[in-house]
Copies of this chain bind each other. A is one copy, B any other.
């Protein structure tokens, strides 16, 4: 079952600030452009897994001024005028909406897929199958498709999708779909446990599919102040004025996530009338959101000592569950558990897996407290 002439344009969001994997990641060397997992960088992997369902010429990237050059180098097959460099970060709604207005100009039925650039996927074949099914759903009327990741723990760092009534997708084998009942923002621990135990909640991993027209219309309806700004920028695309207009207009957009801007108001229409569909992201998804999740991804089990990168051997005595990155060195662990130690040419981070989600606090202190622009 092919895409039957449906035009598909993947939009890769790559606006990272490079704090989660500090000191390996920096503002100009964010997670997206690092090879945290294998030889290819995260954004190269993101593109590679989209190519079975898309042409490189149809791919768009929204990034920032710190990453744009590196991304251009790493993605030579992506068109230069498809790499949009935000003059300022404005969260995901303006980024998603801008591509909708751009594509609406010429081909409003194009299905846009939104893909974060810093996730890993274990089963590429399953990923392609789910995305193809989602593209067909998004192309069939004004439907929005969101991918729901089967939760494996009561994670408080993600939003949740409450799944309602099941939907039979004609002709799609092996794909279960649900109408979305509600979007739930990041819960507290207790609520997260309730969600996971309820059985009809999925993590919102930020992967969405909609036609250019559907999203553009939704923005006009829910974000009436933002829509004309983005239409003005879209109109300038391809002209000599584009950079100036982009730089002048974009900062006026409200900084808001696409979830808050469109998805939550949309799902509030009630379950039976919801035109938001949830498809299962059951393809071994991991967002590598912290050193701890990288440890989980690379290690065979929780107690594994993971010595990442090019290493010169390891000695571990009465030590377990540590993550160490120290390129080219012999690593010796003695009586330590659950630590994260990351060494680069100019910095050494020492923390625990448990605290590694707070590395941004370190980066803030290095930046604002010590004024060390060179280490950011």
Contact = CB atoms under 8 A, between A and B. Distances in A.
Interface string A92-114: 00000000000000000000000
What 3 A-B pairs are tightest by C-beta distance, nearest first? A335-B355, A334-B351, A330-B347
A352 B335 contact: yes
Contacts of A348: 324, 326, 329-332, 341, 343
Interface string A343-376: 1001111111011101101100110011010010
A313 interface: yes
Determine chain A's interface SS by DSSP, over half rule.
Answer: mixed
Contacts of A315: 362, 365-366, 369-370
Contacts of A326: 343, 348
Nearest to A334: B351
Contacts of A354: 335
Interface of A: 22-23, 312-313, 315, 317-319, 322, 324, 326, 328-336, 339, 341, 343, 346-352, 354-356, 358-359, 361-362, 365-366, 369-370, 372, 375
Contacts of A318: 355
A339 B355 CA distance: 15
A299 B223 CA distance: 58
A375 B23 contact: no
B334 A362 contact: yes
Contact of A333 (B22, B317, B351, B372): B351
Given A22-B332, A23-B330, A332-B362, 10 more contacts: A313-B370, A317-B361, A317-B365, A319-B350, A326-B343, A330-B347, A330-B372, A331-B347, A332-B366, A336-B350
Contacts of A375: 330
A140 to B, nearest CB: 49
